[in-house]
């Protein structure tokens, strides 16, 4: 991003947003290194994003020691990008978070280590990386601040299985606007007849790209398990299938997969709580509990229903777009014919 397009902070206190200068944060991205340190700041941030301003009145003392009420007001539009080292359900907070999880697979570990070795060996062209970053900064800086209109917003419906539908729909609609914003030079512009404002019109291709990019995020929101517990459950299913057994113990899992006992205990407790596995026997103080999978998992059914709903919505939008395009073409043809008749009348 351009250097004047963001504001980086390692930590922000709970009341810091009330004392910002409006020019410091208006139209910028707020980068926070660790969200754990600034969790209490999310409440005023939600107010700032929804209302567009923050107003705080508190008592202050003058030079004579007399108390007076002082009002602080901050206005601006900003976006939050933050990192979190521990996994929590940030999607249940008051902000429509788009959570991106790191790839902890073994293949990704190999790719990262290979890149580290190539950097130390001098095989990575740093100048090319800097040139690419500079090119992206120039592209982002060339975008104009403009409003977006989505004529197909009324046709977008979420499946019934998605939790927090209000925040999820708002996240999806905002994401579609973001894609349209980056494609503003390739999109049609329309003029608001009431205000005369020029708006960028969303294209069905923007909605299709948003669906494809947010599909996994919607799957995660519909999943009641945490990301790490879901990954462990997928591995557990493959392990039991390869071992040709239906029951397992914590010791069996630790022999096959290196995992900390407390972490394994947390996974098993979460899977037991949501009835994905159940205790089949054993003793807590001797050989440990024996577990078995209950086949309660309905993730595939939920994912299929969400994907089907998205495909149906996209087909409806494409059909509506083709009808609108056909009407515009017919209107242009009638206008051309009228102009031709007028020209022939003038010649007569």
Per run of 10 residues, the mean pLDDT along the chain (length 348 residues) is 84 82 82 78 80 84 83 84 73 68 85 95 92 92 89 86 78 91 92 86 93 81 79 88 88 88 91 89 81 74 78 90 73 53 51
* Residue 30 in domain: yes
Contact yes or no for 293/240 (Cβ under 8 A): yes
Among the listed residues 261, 271, 263, 278, the one whose alpha carbon sits nearest the alpha carbon of residue 234 = 271
Among the listed residues 255, 257, 258, the one whose alpha carbon sits nearest the alpha carbon of residue 288 = 255
Beta strands at 189-191 and 198-201: parallel, antiparallel or unpaired? antiparallel
For position 185, what pLDDT does the model report? Answer: 93
**Which residue in this structure is represented by tokens 């394994």?**
264
Q: Which two tokens stand for residue 265?
A: 């205990």
For position 219, what pLDDT does the model report? Answer: 72
* Residue 196 in domain: no
For position 348, what pLDDT does the model report? Answer: 46
Distance CA 20, CA 100 (A): 28
* Residue 78 in domain: yes
* Residue 211 in domain: no
* Residue 172 in domain: no
For position 110, what pLDDT does the model report? Answer: 95
Domain membership of residue 4 as a residue range: 1-85+122-142
* Residue 17 in domain: yes
For the entire predicted model, the pTM comes to: 0.74
* Residue 330 in domain: no
Distance CA 67, CA 253 (A): 65
For position 169, what pLDDT does the model report? Answer: 86
For position 341, what pLDDT does the model report? Answer: 53
Distance CA 48, CA 25 (A): 11
For position 25, what pLDDT does the model report? Answer: 80
Other Cβ atoms less than 10 A from the Cβ of 26: the count is 14
* Residue 215 in domain: no
Q: Could you give the number of structural domains in the chain? A: 1
């Amino acid at each position: 991003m351009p250097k004047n397009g963001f504001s980086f902070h390692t930590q922000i206190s709970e009341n810091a947003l009330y004392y910002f200068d409006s020019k410091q944060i208006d139209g910028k991205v707020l980068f926070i290194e660790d969200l754990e340190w600034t969790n209490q700041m999310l409440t005023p941030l939600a107010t700032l994003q929804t209302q567009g301003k923050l107003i705080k009145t508190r008592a202050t003392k003058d030079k004579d020691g007399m108390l007076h009420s002082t009002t602080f007001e901050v206005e601006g539009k900003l976006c939050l990008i933050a990192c979190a080292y521990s996994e929590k359900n940030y999607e249940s907070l008051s902000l429509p978070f788009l959570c991106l999880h790191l790839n902890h697979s073994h293949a990704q570990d190999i790719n990262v280590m290979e890149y580290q070795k190539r950097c130390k060996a001098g095989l990575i062209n740093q100048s090319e990386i800097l040139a690419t970053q500079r090119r992206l900064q120039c592209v982002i800086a060339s975008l104009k601040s403009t409003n977006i209109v989505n004529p197909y917003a009324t046709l977008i419906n979420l499946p019934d299985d998605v939790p927090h539908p209000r925040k999820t729909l708002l996240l999806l609609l905002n994401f579609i606007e973001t894609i349209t914003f980056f494609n503003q030079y390739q999109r049609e512009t329309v003029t608001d007849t009431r205000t005369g404002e020029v708006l960028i019109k969303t294209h069905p291709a923007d909605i299709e790209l948003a669906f494809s990019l947010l599909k996994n995020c919607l799957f995660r929101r519909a999943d009641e398990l945490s990301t790490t517990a879901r990954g462990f459950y997928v591995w557990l299913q493959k392990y039991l299938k390869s071992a040709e057994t239906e029951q397992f113990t914590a010791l069996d899992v630790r022999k096959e997969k290196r995992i900390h006992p407390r972490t394994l205990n947390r996974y098993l407790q979460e899977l037991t709580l949501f009835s994905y596995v159940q205790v089949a026997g054993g003793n807590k103080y001797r050989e440990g509990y024996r577990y078995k999978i209950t086949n309660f998992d309905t993730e595939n059914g939920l994912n299929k229903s969400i994907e089907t709903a998205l495909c149906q919505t996209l087909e409806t939008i494409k059909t509506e777009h083709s009808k609108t395009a056909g009407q515009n073409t017919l209107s242009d043809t009638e206008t051309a014919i009228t102009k031709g008749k007028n020209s022939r009348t003038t010649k007569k």
